[in-house]
């Protein structure tokens, strides 16, 4: 993200937790518009190495235990990346009862090809606390519009910000100052957004995230409402935030004016960085704009290219319209 944003930004810094903050000077120092998407992805952490050289791990983020089984990983050590695979007892030696149960993460381990703890630690450089990332490749699916890859949560949001910043830079200064923030530690508690929002002190916060798609077997429209290829969505409710209603209406009207299809999603769970922006300092109106995503919190997710491009188009238009008078109207509660 530093490589993508530095050529476009007027200043780039990191806060004390590691979030990247890129400032784009517009026609006025205020209002301050904070755009956020998180850089971290679901992963694991090395807990310990067994005497036989197998890695026991601590999950980072909200994994389903069964989604961890027999997946490829990369242990990120001081010596470099070490590939591995999560293992469990093979089905050939399980009882009939065991085959039907759900395996818990405590029963799993990572096989990195080490012959002993000493081999893993000295030859491969694996230490307790080393991060472990999913190993998955990018593949366009049939037709070329659907993209299969890991970590759309939240690489989709990061891509939207980069595309919007390119358009904003090419089209002249906006009527505000924009802070494009790539946050850290969202998956373990929205921590990076909290520190970076404290640093930026936004007047308006717009979070860009992957959204919960509902257009595949096993999930109902009562649980989620986004569909791939039908445009970006705005979150009307999740477990972390309610959006500012005047900001919601502003987003809806802007999408209508520029011809971008817009969806809505109401979730009982789910959390996102917009809530940290909303609660920073004296508070700021905030909203969460999403790119619909299938199979979140797994090694492989699917998005639609047009949803990502439409989200970037919408974000660009929003920033260009957020002048002082508009922001004052959104922030007015009397």
* Tokens 């293992």, located at residue: 87
Cα separation of 164 and 30, whole Å? Answer: 19
* Secondary structure E strands in 190-324: 204-212, 233-237, 263-266, 286-293, 301-304
- Which two tokens mark 34? 């904070």
* Tokens 């993508």, located at residue: 4
Nearest residue to 190 via CA among 5, 4, 17: 17
Burial tier of 117 (Cβ tally within 10 Å: 0-12, 13-18, 19+): middle
Cα separation of 247 and 174, whole Å? Answer: 18
Nearest residue to 182 via CA among 7, 10, 11, 14: 14
Catalytic positions are 186
Query: What are the distances in angstroms from CA 49 to CA 42, 67, 133, 148, 159?
Result: 21, 22, 17, 32, 36
């Amino acid at each position: 993200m530093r490589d993508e944003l530095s050529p476009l930004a007027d200043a780039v810094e990191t806060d004390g937790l590691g979030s990247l903050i890129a400032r784009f000077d517009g026609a006025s120092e205020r209002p301050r518009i904070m755009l956020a998407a998180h850089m971290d992805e679901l992963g694991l952490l090395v807990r310990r190495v067994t005497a036989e050289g197998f890695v026991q791990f601590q999950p980072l983020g909200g994994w389903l235990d069964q989604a961890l089984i027999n997946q490829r990983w990369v242990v990120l050590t001081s010596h470099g990346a070490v590939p591995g695979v999560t293992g469990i007892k093979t089905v050939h030696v399980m009882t009939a009862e065991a085959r039907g149960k759900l395996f818990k993460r405590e029963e799993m381990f990572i096989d990195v090809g080490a012959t002993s703890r000493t081999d893993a630690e000295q030859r491969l450089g694996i230490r307790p606390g080393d991060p472990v990332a999913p190993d998955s490749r990018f593949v366009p699916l049939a037709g070329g519009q659907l993209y299969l890859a890991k970590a759309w949560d939240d690489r989709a949001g990061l891509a939207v910000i980069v595309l919007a910043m390119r358009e904003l830079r090419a089209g002249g200064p906006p009527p505000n100052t924009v802070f494009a923030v790539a946050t850290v530690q969202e998956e373990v508690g929205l921590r990076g957004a909290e520190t970076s929002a404290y640093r930026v002190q936004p007047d308006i916060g717009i979070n860009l995230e992957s959204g919960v798609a509902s257009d595949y077997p096993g999930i109902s429209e009562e649980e989620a409402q986004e569909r791939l290829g039908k445009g970006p969505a705005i979150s009307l409710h999740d477990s972390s935030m309610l959006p500012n209603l005047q900001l919601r209406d502003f987003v809806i009207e802007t999408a209508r004016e520029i011809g971008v299809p817009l969806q809505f999603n109401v979730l009982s769970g789910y959390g996102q960085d917009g809530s940290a922006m909303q609660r920073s300092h004296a508070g700021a109106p905030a909203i969460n704009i999403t790119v619909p995503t299938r199979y979140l919190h797994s090694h492989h997710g699917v998005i639609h290219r047009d949803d990502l491009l439409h989200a970037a188009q919408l974000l660009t238009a929003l920033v260009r319209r957020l002048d002082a008078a508009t922001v004052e109207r959104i922030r007015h509660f009397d």
